[in-house]
Amino acid sequence: MRHRTGNLLTDNPELYEARFPDPEHLAGRWAQDILCRHGAGPTVLDLGCGTGRDAAWLHHAGRRVTAADLSAPMLAHARARHPGPAYVTADLSRFDFGQRVFDAVVCLDSSLLYCHTNEQLDGFLRSCRRTLVPGGLLVAEMRNGAYFLGRDEPATAPAVSRFTWHGTAYRSTTALRVDRAAQLLRRTRSWTADDGSPPVVEHSAWRLLLPQELRHFLTVHGFDVLALHDGPGPRTEPAWQPGAGPGDTADGDRLHLVARKTTVDPARTSAAEPANPATGEQP
Ligand SMILES: C[S@@+](CC[C@H](N)C(=O)[O-])C[C@H]1O[C@@H](n2cnc3c(N)ncnc32)[C@H](O)[C@@H]1O
């Protein structure tokens, strides 16, 4: 039996691509642009790769790509429709490729935010650090916690969307709720279809990370932040276009991260300790 995640779009990758088309391959091109700008070597690990379309774009751009996801339907679709990369099952919050190392890790469209807890984030960054070459890059693109935590509740009324796919009319109702204590954006989405199938109710959540909080996690785990900004990116309005450089604000609804693995072992640094606990002197 195929593993099902309980998420209609993740379980139906064709439908996912139909709902979130990227005909200009903006996400893949944006990632490739960042990797080139920062001189990354050819090997890339795409975590939470979904349908595989970005991994395949990077492959066709000349990179050697391994792409990982937890969803069996996504991986099956990726292997069939977006060949080139090596597709593997892995949990981005704790993965281990043994002796294999990569020049870069990419994590697109909020995949990183499936690390809901601090422990999962620690596991993700520890795994990334272990899996990257010295000086390797971490490139991520995601929702911006500052945007959601810093405002009143988003979209108070549930958003309704209708579309037809392969002759079936679908209707989805989506409600978002900010869970401030857990720093999670919780989504409830109800689906109905006119093909006689029963209604489906899904619950998803994304971690809401503040930019400075993310910087701290990265520093503690031995990464230098090279860029952290709200756009332009592949999912911003206006969208990133080739040649566009990084912005200098972090207030919009998307966050774009470029970080480099330092050569300093974080276990040997004092990032989490006061400089002089013996004296405790204040300036
Ligand atoms: C929003 S999709 C993004 C897919 C792709 N990166 C893109 O930009 O189109 C998030 C993906 O993360 C995967 N995912 C969720 N939790 C995961 C985990 N713990 N480990 C690996 N993949 C995970 C889901 O199966 C899904 O394919």
Span from the CA of 111 to the centroid of ligand 1 (angstroms):
5
In this prediction, residues 42-67 reach a mean pLDDT of: 98
| Ligand 1 atom with the shortest distance to the CA of 109 | 8
Ligand 1 pocket member 50 (CB < 6 A): yes
In this prediction, residues 115-143 reach a mean pLDDT of: 98
Which residue's entry shows tokens 């300790």? Answer: 273
| Ligand 1 atom with the shortest distance to the CA of 120 | 19
Closest CA to 94 of 114, 67, 70, 120: 120
Q: What burial letters (b/e) apply to 58-67, b meaning 16+ CB within 10 Å?
A: bbebebebbb
Q: What burial letters (b/e) apply to 148-162, b meaning 16+ CB within 10 Å?
A: beeeeeeeeeeeeee
Q: Which of 70, 74, 174 to probe ligand 1 with, by most ligand atoms within 8 A of CB?
A: 70
End-to-end CA distance of the chain: 64
Ligand 1 pocket member 108 (CB < 6 A): yes
- pLDDT tens string 237-278: 999 999 999 999 999 999 999 999 999 888 776 554 444 555
Q: What is the chain's mean pLDDT, rounded?
A: 91
Give percent of the chain with pLDDT exceeding 90: 80
DSSP H or E run through 113: none
CATH of 7-144+210-264, one of 3.40.50.150, 3.50.30.30, 3.40.50.720, 3.30.1310.10: 3.40.50.150
pTM of the predicted structure, to 2 decimals:
0.92
What whole-number distance in Å separates Cα of residue 125 and Cα of residue 102? 14
Evaluate whether 266 touches 222 at the Cβ level (below 8 Å): yes
- pLDDT tens string 16-44: 998 899 999 999 999 999 999 999 999 99
- pLDDT tens string 184-241: 999 999 999 999 888 889 999 999 999 999 999 999 999 999 999 999 999 999 999 9
CA torsion sign for 221, 227, 233, 235 is positive
Which residue has the CA at smallest separation from atom 14 of ligand 1? Answer: 48
Ligand 1 pocket member 16 (CB < 6 A): no
Which residue has the CA at smallest separation from atom 9 of ligand 1? Answer: 50
Domain residue ranges in the chain: 7-144+210-264, 149-204
Ligand 1 pocket member 106 (CB < 6 A): no
Give percent of the chain with pLDDT exceeding 70: 90
Ligand 1 pocket member 56 (CB < 6 A): no
Ligand 1 pocket member 78 (CB < 6 A): no
Distance of CA 14 to the CA centre of its chain: 20
